[in-house]
C-alpha cells in the first residue's frame, strides 16, 4: 500500500499518522510532521501510557524521512 504525501501538506501543520499502516507497534503512535522552529521533517513518536513525546528521526529532506520509514516500518510513500 502506498500513501501519497507532499511537503506543502506537512508545512501547513498537518501530521501523517502511520501507526495503522504496516507492522507498527500499538503502544505508541508514529507520525510524520514538519517542525517550523527547526525547519525540518520529523518522525515523531507519542507514547499512550506515559504521554511522553520524542523525535525518533529528523531530516531537512522529505525523501530521507520516507526512506527511513520504509526501512524501519515497511510503509511506502509517494512524494507528490
Q: Read off the pLDDT of residues 43-75 as tens digits, 9 standing for 90 and up.
A: 999 988 888 899 999 999 999 999 999 999 888
Give the pLDDT confidence score for residue 63 in this predicted structure.
96
Say whether pLDDT at 77 is over 70: yes
According to DSSP, residue 26 is labeled: S
* Sequence ranges of the domains in the chain: 2-79
Maximum Cα–Cα distance for the chain, whole Å? 35
pLDDT category at 23 given cuts 50, 70, 90 is low
Percent of the chain with pLDDT over 90: 62
Say whether pLDDT at 21 is over 70: no
pTM value surpassing 0.85 = no
Amino acid at each position: 500500500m502506498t500513501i501519497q504525501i507532499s511537503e506543502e501538506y506537512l508545512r501547513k501543520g498537518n501530521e501523517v499518522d502511520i501507526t495503522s499502516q504496516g507492522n507498527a507497534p500499538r503502544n505508541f503512535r508514529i507520525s510524520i510532521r514538519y517542525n517550523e522552529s527547526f525547519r525540518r521533517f520529523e518522525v515523531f513518536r507519542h507514547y499512550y501510557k506515559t504521554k511522553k513525546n520524542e523525535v525518533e528521526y529528523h531530516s531537512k529532506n522529505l525523501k530521507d524521512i520516507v526512506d527511513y520509514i520504509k526501512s524501519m516500518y515497511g510503509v511506502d510513500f509517494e512524494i507528490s
